[in-house]
Amino acid sequence: MDLNAGRLVLQNLIDLGPEEACLKAVTEILDVSHHVYFIEVKDVEVAEGGSEQVAINDPYDRLGDVQRLNEGRLLTVKVPGYDGNYVLVIFPFAD
């Protein structure tokens, strides 16, 4: 089954820099408000020729939280008007 709930509309997009390499916005999904974070990441080479995905500047370890839930490297997106690669994180507002 597919559920087409329309396009994702981002409201109040703000750049949290320089304190964080992160963009923040709000969206509605199925009539529920959600936080939207774009966490800027880069690949860093590690031993044995591999690489690891790390956040540029993530003092609250948002990327680490999501990586632990997802068990590793996450897909990245490009955000129009901003340089870099970002991991997109969406979660609902608290009650």
Q: Which of 46-50, 56-60, 82-86 has the lowest mean pLDDT?
A: 46-50
Mean pLDDT of 11-30: 94
C-alpha span between 30 and 36 (Å, rounded): 15
- Is 30 a domain residue? yes
Please list the residues that pair with 43 across neighbouring strands.
53
Is 33 strand, coil or helix? strand
pTM of the model: 0.85
Selection from 50, 56, 40, 42 nearest residue 88 by Cα:
40
- Is 16 a domain residue? yes
- Is 1 a domain residue? no
- Is 45 a domain residue? yes
- Is 2 a domain residue? no
Confidence of residue 71 (pLDDT cuts 50, 70, 90): confident
**Domain count of the fold of the chain:** 1
- At 27-56, the pLDDT tens digits run 998 889 999 999 999 989 888 878 888 999
β-pairing verdict for 11-15 and 32-45: unpaired
Range(s) of the domain holding residue 16: 11-92
